[in-house]
Amino acid sequence: MADMSVTLCGLKLDNPVIPASGVFGYGAEFKDFYDINILGSFSFKGTTKEPRFGNPTPRIAECCCGMINSIGLQNPGIEAVISEELPNISTYFKKPVIANVGGYSVSEFVYCAEMLSEAPQVGIIEVNISCPNIHRGGANFASDPKSAAEVTAAVRKVSKKPIFIKLSPNVTSIADVARACEDAGADGLSLINTLLGMRIDIKRARPVIANKAGGFSGRAIFPVALRMVYDTAAAVKIPIMGMGGVATAKDVIEMMMAGATAVQIGAENLRNPFVCKEIIEELPSLMAELNIERLADIIGIAQ
Ligand code: SIN
């Protein structure tokens, strides 16, 4: 039987398939489509200290082979996530989850990561320093190695769980930022977040998105994401969760050959809510076709 298991910082996953933060909520809607316990894990919606309504609407724009979002970290806030969402998740998801944390300051990241790392259901803290939608122009803590390292070191000090730093593609060298995070104590990296993009409504001659620009994701960005995972894997020793435009079992194999230990699927879940289930079901036959017995054996073999 095909062995699809992978291990992320000591956490063994049945398979590397993980819905990405922001497209899967807390899993409650998806559990009605299929048994989400087949997933390796899932990363829940980015959590901030206070509840956030997010950015003004419109905050979604359709694009060829993808979409732009400018959600602005809408979420119920850490108190509600800990007292309501996590107990609710434990009724239908029996594996460790990935807690994605967002923030506007180092102290907010620290606060959220420390509290969520205490929760027994949380296996990994994913520190989203790369949201392009919270400051005009998309600047964030992932924009330069120094600020990325500052958040990483501060969160590392307080987290009882492995921390994965989520990196931005909107930089000159993602490998430089990755190395800075590794040196500052990151246990792993998640990449890539969305690419800054925009659309214009030609009837109104105005940007479609109220915030003007947003983060572009979806199938169109897969080659960009793959290249960045490849470069980053060559630059660091810590494990990587690869993401960006992944939509098929073949994409998962490519990401892993580039150097990802696990693979997150984002925008495609919004187009096809069954995509993760389909990928998990398709992987064994693709592995057989490629003579792969253990999926873990292909991590980084294209390097
Ligand atoms: C958002 O809530 O704006 C999306 C989060 C992200 O892209 O990091």
- Residue to mutate (ligand 1; options 193, 269, 270; most atoms within 8 A of CB): 193
Phi, psi angles (nearest 5°) of residue 188 = -165, 175
pTM: 0.98
- Residue to mutate (ligand 1; options 71, 143, 151, 216; most atoms within 8 A of CB): 71
> What does the pLDDT look like over 178-218, one tens digit per residue?
999 999 999 999 999 999 999 999 999 999 999 999 999 99
16: which 2 tokens?
A: 């590397």
**Banded model confidence at residue 135, pLDDT cuts 50, 70, 90:** confident
97-101 vs 122-128, strand pairing mode? parallel
- Cα–Cα distance, 58 to 204 (Å, whole number): 13
Say yes or no: CB of residue 128 within 6 Å of ligand 1: yes
Active site residue 64: no
Active-site position among 63, 64, 112, 131: 131
Report CA(288)–ligand 1 centroid distance (Å): 37
Ranking 85-89, 116-120, 135-139, 164-168 by mean pLDDT, the lowest is 135-139
* Per-residue model confidence (pLDDT) at position 136: 65
- Residue to mutate (ligand 1; options 59, 69, 217, 264; most atoms within 8 A of CB): 69
* Per-residue model confidence (pLDDT) at position 137: 66
Domains, the chain, ordered by start: 6-298 (3.20.20.70)
Per-position DSSP letters for 72-131, written without gaps between them: ---B--HHHIIIIIHHHHHHH--SPEEEEE--SSHHHHHHHHHHHHTSTTEEEEEEE---
232: which 2 tokens?
A: 């980053």
What's the burial of 298, exposed, middle or buried (CB within 10 Å: 0-12/13-18/19+)?
middle
* Per-residue model confidence (pLDDT) at position 138: 67
Say yes or no: CB of residue 133 within 6 Å of ligand 1: yes
Work out whether the CA dihedral 299, 160, 152, 43 comes out positive or negative: positive
Whether the CB-CB separation of 44 and 22 falls below 8 Å is answered with: no
* Per-residue model confidence (pLDDT) at position 139: 73
Question: Mean pLDDT across the stretch 18-30?
Answer: 98
Average pLDDT, the chain: 97
Report CA(9)–ligand 1 centroid distance (Å): 25
Q: Which atom of ligand 1 is nearest to the CA of 215?
A: 7
